[in-house]
Amino acid sequence: MIDKLQNYIKETEAFIASTAEELENFRIKYLGKKGILNDLFEDFKNVPRENKKDVGQKINELKNLVQEKINSFKSSFEESTTSKSGIDLTAPADPNKMGTRHPISLVRNEIIDIFNRIGFTISEGPEIEDDWHVFSALNFPEEHPARDMQDTFFIDDASKILLRTHTSSVQVRVMENSKPPIRTISPGRVFRNEAISARAHCIFHQVEGLYIDENVSFADLKQTLMFFAKEMFGEKTQIRLRPSYFPFTEPSAEMDVACNICGGKGCNVCKYTGWLEILGCGMVDPNVLKNCKIDSEKYTGFAFGMGIERIAMLKYGINDLRLYFENDVRFLNQFKSSL
Ligand code: DAH
């Protein structure tokens, strides 16, 4: 038996594998279930006691040798795979860096999602507008300060072509082009000639809402906005409506939500009032309906307009509007969402 073992050891020492297949055959020959080593261990049972020690040592020697051979060829095959193609096929893949959505997009998508659930469609209008859609149809008096050069970017002074200062212009377009019932929201970019600071920017985003039908009341407006606030800021969110003025709504109001940073106790974000203003709203002025050829005797409606930047500020605790437009990845990478 010792001689037999000695031969196997010699054979193993001399073995050279030139392909992975040869190596695998060698492995099966020695280490396979019906392989040489298993046979040897089987025969070992019948070895006389006095020889057991020597034979045992030889079998172990052979087993280790076989294993070493396999390991050394195996790694040399792997290395040569790498060096041939120049690519290490066994290396773990680089993780794909996922981009993140901009917080303005996240909040816009969330607003759209909330109003979709209660039957609002989405409508869009042009950023370059005329005086009629931005001001006149919305009942702005001829001398209204919002028409002033200081607020509005005019593209063509004579023909009064301008960059829209609010998305309320889209409600005019929707009313001109469709018949009630109308239930729509209009997200979009707006432009105002303002000095850039932490609290003001010349470009920002709004979502306009419009609901026109028979018998639409202020109670409908209030319930719709309450639903929105709770969906956006949480079930416990409280709202309040303060009387206000807009040329295109009568009565008009501004809506506050209880400050979600201090929980209404008062902090520097809510200027120690416990409330934060998030939107303007009201019942669509009959003059606006008439301007858009909608029967103001038959139909009533409500409208609202909110700033996306402001809502994102409250939601994420952002304290400077300029961060939205600087595209600093350290800022942008913090926003993760599926929406
Ligand atoms: N357009 C107004 C603004 O930019 C916001 C607004 C207020 C829109 C009241 C409305 C509304 O539809 O009813 O400040």
Q: Using 50, 70 and 90 to split pLDDT, how confident is the model at 264?
A: confident
pLDDT of 51 higher than 60: yes
pLDDT surpassing 60 at residue 25: yes
Per the CB < 8 A criterion, the answer to whether 311 and 278 are in contact is: yes
Distance 122 CA to ligand 1 centre (A): 17
What's the 269 CA to ligand 1 centre distance in angstroms? 23
CA of 301 to the centre of ligand 1 (A): 14
Contact status, residue 216 vs residue 284, Cβ threshold 8 Å = no
* pLDDT tens, position by position, 54-67: 899 999 999 999 99
Domains and their CATH numbers in the chain: 2-80 (no CATH), 103-124+173-182+196-338 (3.30.930.10)
Amino acid at 52: K
Mutation probe of ligand 1 site: the residue of 281, 283, 288, 300 with most atoms within 8 A of C-beta = 281
So what's the pLDDT on residue 83? 57
Question: What is the pLDDT of the chain when averaged over all its residues?
Answer: 91
Band (79; pLDDT cuts 50, 70, 90): low
Q: What is the pTM of this model?
A: 0.73
The response to whether residue 303 sits with its C-beta less than 6 Å from ligand 1 reads: yes
Q: Tell me the three state secondary structure of residue 126.
A: coil
Instruction: Determine what percent of the chain is predicted with pLDDT higher than 70.
Output: 97
Q: Is the pLDDT of residue 81 over 60?
A: no
CA–centroid distance, residue 302 to ligand 1 (Å): 11
What tokens were used for 278? Answer: 């998030």
Mean pLDDT (whole number) for 188-211: 93
Q: What is the mean pLDDT of residues 120-144?
A: 95
pLDDT at 82 over 70: no
Kindly indicate the confidence band of residue 338, based on its pLDDT and cuts at 50, 70 and 90: low
Q: How far apart are CA 253 and CA 245, in angstroms?
A: 7
Q: How far apart are CA 190 and CA 104, in angstroms?
A: 13
